[in-house]
Amino acid sequence: MRLNDVRARLATFPKKIAELDARIAKAKSEVDQSKAAQTATLKDRKKYELDVEQWKEKVRKYKDQTSQIKTNEAYKALQHEVQMAEAEISKAEDRLLEQMVASEEYDRRIKASEKSLKEAEEIVRGERSKIDAEKSAADQDLAQLNAERARVVAEIPEDLLDHYERISKRHGGISLAEVRDEKCTACGMRVRPHVFQEMRRTDTKEMFHCETCTRILYYIEPVAAPAPSATQANGASVSATSSSDS
């Protein structure tokens, strides 16, 4: 059970780390997005500046032509062209102004997102070192428990161990169940009275299984006087480790 707990602890770390990585990636992509928007704005700005220049150039040309105009009609037509071009200039200048305002906004956004990224990096660095410490503690526990298990397992006859492990595989690593109140604590099924009586006999050599979940049953006679953790020495039952329920 302790090994299962440690393995479950270890299994949570990849997800936690992935969440931290995702947090950084999100903050980075916000910086990238505001920078890309800024670049696009600057490009537009250049284009509108060029537009303004080109329309101004046209106006200059039209005005140069004025001196050669002979008829009133042609003069009016040219005036009209000049007005059109000036309207275009003013439109391009409006767009230019919009882009400049947007550009300031993107500047603010870049700064804000860069600040958020820095903060996220700081937080993640802290979280990450906490996780690393937890993980290395869990790795140590795992190694220690595996060693402890190897020691215990070495004393168990091979066929019994095989039996134990087959049940274990079927039941998520838990192949023993304590009997309490005449019930299997793993599945809640009642143990037949005559089986329970058999289990309570101190001279029994038999192994009992839950009829429902097939786990190996063990029973610890409740102690009348409080005698905490004194059960280990006599070795009569299979169950020395598990009465504490932790």
Under the rule (CB under 5 A), what is the footprint of Zn ion?
184, 186-187, 189, 210, 212-213
Nearest CB to Zn ion, comparing residues 54 and 185: 185
**Contacts for 198 with CB less than 8 Å, ≥ 6 apart:** 204, 206, 208
Shortest Cβ 191–Zn ion spacing (Å): 9
Shortest reach from residue 157's CB to Zn ion, in Å: 24
Residue 173 Rama label (left phi>0; alpha psi -120 to 50; beta): left
We find the least distance from the C-beta atom of residue 17 to Zn ion, in angstroms, to be 37
Handedness of CA 33, 36, 42, 46 (dihedral sign): negative
Closer CB to Zn ion, 85 or 186, in the complex? 186
- Judged by beta carbon, residue 37 or residue 187, the one nearer Zn ion is 187
Q: Cα separation of 127 and 133, whole Å?
A: 10
Quick one: angle between helices 2-65 and 72-154, nearest 10? 170
45 near 113, Cβ under 8 Å?
no
Task: List the one residue out of 29, 33, 30, 44 whose CA is nearest residue 102.
Answer: 44
Nearer to Zn ion, 138 or 184 (CB): 184
Residue 41 or 175 having the CB closest to Zn ion? 175
Question: To the nearest whole angstrom, how small is the minimum distance from the Cβ of residue 188 to Zn ion?
Answer: 7
Q: Which is nearer to Zn ion, 63 or 166 (CB)?
A: 166
SS3 state at 200: helix
- Helix (H/G/I), strand (E/B), else coil: 190: strand
Nearest Cα to 213, choosing from 242, 161, 243, 172? 172
